[in-house]
Structure formats: structure tokens, C-alpha cells
Amino acid sequence: MGGIEVLASGGSYPVEIGAGSSARLDSMTRRAAGRNKLFLFYDANFFALHGRQLRKAIHIESRRVREMVIPAGEKSKSLTTLASIYDFLLDHGIARSDFILACGGGVTTDLVGYAAATTLRGIPWGAAPTTLLGMVDASLGGKTGINHDRGKNLIGAFWAPKFVCADVNYLATLESRHMVAGLGEILKCAGLAGSKHVAALERFLDQDNLYYLRALTPLIRRSAQLKTHIVSRDEREHGPRMCMNLGHTFGHGIEKALGFGRLLHGEAVILGLWAALTLGEAEGFGSKGLMRYRDLVERHIRLLPRRKLDAEQIFRALSLDKKRGADGLRFVLLERLGKPIIYDNVERRSIKAALKSMIKIYRALGGKNA
């Protein structure tokens, strides 16, 4: 498709999204790597399914390419795996003019992007996201990093890639729960973007086929466009980028209360969006557009696996959330569809009521994707 260009402090970069767009990965990578070495990193599951095909598509002679496979899963976003990447890069004589390409989901792009940011004070890199969440969120915006025992993403850097190239065809092999988690972020974007995005998502769900990639591709583009537009205006999250946290204060609380991994991040965001809508309603925000959006959130809740949630426990967990304003918890709410607003100082009572309402609807609807 072309057309998406992200502004970043180190220069703008293109985002390519489409079915079969890995054909473009070749020219993008060759242009970026020049005559230098290319360090290719793959997520292990992705590598097993598509690694050979991807490597074949990049026409750089083998003597200039070094490849490493990263174990799949959030655990890899650790100091230990990072150290093994540093060892690999240094053992193979990485130079500042070399190029790094990360192929995988958000775990791989966050981790490898951070290794790129910190090796020799910064190596240029590119991202080939292979999960839905990676395509609409994690690979965009230049945030890279790893987890620490004290919490997620606590160590990191802003280090924008030179390009992002997302081949939607790779999603055909993604597990359905990861498809739903990615949809959670698309759903968030729909709330931020407005009725056209909502309508496109409704049409996609009407197909009743998570792998209907022809209908999914325009949704991925729309979501990526929204995020890159916001990130271009606010790379370091001082202002408008905060809106991308719609549904996330609640979502993080849910993830934490359950124990990380029991619900995937994007799954928890779906529930978080419901809670944010309910909180907004208590603050007096109600409109036809928001009602329609609520219906759409409900349709996503139906796709979630069943877990036991407790409102008090989530409340305690989100009280510790790092994204809070100076005076307490910070929520992004929707004043109208497509019109986010930042809310600080929300009453505890309203937060708990929103959580209870969310758990009720989840009990009633959730459980299909167990």
C-alpha cells in the first residue's frame, strides 16, 4: 500500500503493511544494510513456520548474514536473553554500520530493538512484525525494552526502526487467542478513531472468521495509521500518545491481579475498554456512538477465555499501576466516540463500580475461547 510514514527524532521511517508485503522486505533490508552485515533475529515459533521462506526472500549473500533464533514467549524479554544477544552480536564482530532485523511478535521486536538501541550506542534496525499485536502496536513507535523482576517494560529506550514491514499473510498461522489479543488493540484504536473504524471492525466480525485476512488487512492499516499519526506528534508520550492507553489502566490491573499471562495483554485490554466505558458513563458520557462501541466491545468479550476475576483484587493491583497522574490514578475515557479525554482523580467508588459491572458482563458473555 505504502503511504504510512512515521516522524521520529532520528528521521522518518516507512511502514509497509499488506498481504505478501515481505516481497518488499528484500529491497528495504538491502537498502538499509548496504554492503554491511545483516543480523537477522527470529522468534522461534515464527522461524519454525516461516523462517526459511523469509530468509530466501532477502537476497543478501550468506557470508554477510548472521542469524539467531530467540526462544518464544514473554520470558525472553529478560536480561538473560538480552545478554545472549549481546554475546552473539559481539562474537560476530558487529559494527555500527551493520543492520539488525527483528522478525517476530512484540517480544522479539521489543527485545531485539533494545539490543539494537544499546549495542555500540545504537545500531540501525528494522522490524518485521509477525503477530497481529506486533503489526498494529508493538513494532510501531520506537519503544523498545525488556522486563525486570519488579515489573514489565521497566528497562528500555526509544529507538525508532528504519522501517517496519508487516506481511499479513503470516497471521494465518497465529493462534486464535493471539488473534483476539491483537483485535483488542484494534478495538481500542476504533474507539479512538471513530465511527468509520468501528464500522470496519463490525464488518470484519460479521464474517465470523478471525483469519479472514482480506477484511483484516484494512483494519490493521487503519490502526497502524492512527498509532503512527499520534506517535509522530508525540514520540515520547508527553501528551496525545497517552490516549493510546485507553482501556489500559484497567487492563494492566486485570493482568496483574490474575498473574501475568493468565489473560494476554490484548485480552485484558478488551475487558479494560468495557470498564472504561462504564466509568465514562458514570461521569456523564453517553451517546449513540458510544452505545454502538459498547456493543462492539461486548462482541469481543465473547471471544475471551474464562478466568475468575475479583474486583477488589483488580482495584488493588491497578492502584499500583505505573501510569498514574500526579494525584492518583489516570484513566483515558471517551467523551464521545473518537474523542478521548484524560481523567485524573476518579472516585474509588466509581472505579470499583466499573470493575463490578465489567466482571458481570464477562461472566455472562465470556468463555467461548476457553
Ligand X SMILES: NC(=O)c1ccc[n+]([C@@H]2O[C@H](COP(=O)([O-])OP(=O)(O)OC[C@H]3O[C@@H](n4cnc5c(N)ncnc54)[C@H](O)[C@@H]3O)[C@@H](O)[C@H]2O)c1
| Residue numbers at the binding site for ligand X (CB under 6 A) | 43, 45-46, 49, 72-74, 77, 104-108, 110, 130-131, 133-134, 137-138, 141, 143, 152-153, 170, 173-174, 178, 181, 265
- For residue 180, the surrounding DSSP H or E stretch is helix 176-193
Q: Three cell numbers at 159?
A: 529507538
* Shortest separation between residue 63's beta carbon and ligand X, angstroms: 28
**Which residues are registered as beta bridge partners of 99?**
38
Shortest distance, position 289 Cβ to ligand X, whole Å? 26
**Nearer to ligand X among residue 33 and residue 231 (C-beta):** 231
* Residues 170 and 48 sit within 8 Å (Cβ to Cβ): no
Q: How far is the CB of 363 from ligand X (least distance, A)?
A: 25
Q: Provide, rounded to whole angstroms, the least separation between the CB of residue 108 and ligand X.
A: 6
Nearer to ligand X, 350 or 369 (CB): 369
Residue whose C-alpha is closest to residue 261's, from 305, 320, 324, 211: 305
- HSE, CB side, 13 Å, CA atoms: give it for residue 20: 2
Torsion angles phi and psi, residue 68, rounded to 5:
-140, 140
Q: Which lies closer to ligand X via its Cβ, residue 14 or residue 289? A: 14
3-class DSSP assignment, residue 150? coil
- Minimum CB distance to ligand X smaller for 16 or for 110: 110
Q: How far is the CB of 342 from ligand X (least distance, A)?
A: 19
Minimal CB distance residue for ligand X = 106
Measured from the CB atom, is 45 or 249 closer to ligand X?
A: 45
CA distances to 70, 76, 131, 261 from 67, rounded to whole Å, are 10, 17, 20, 28
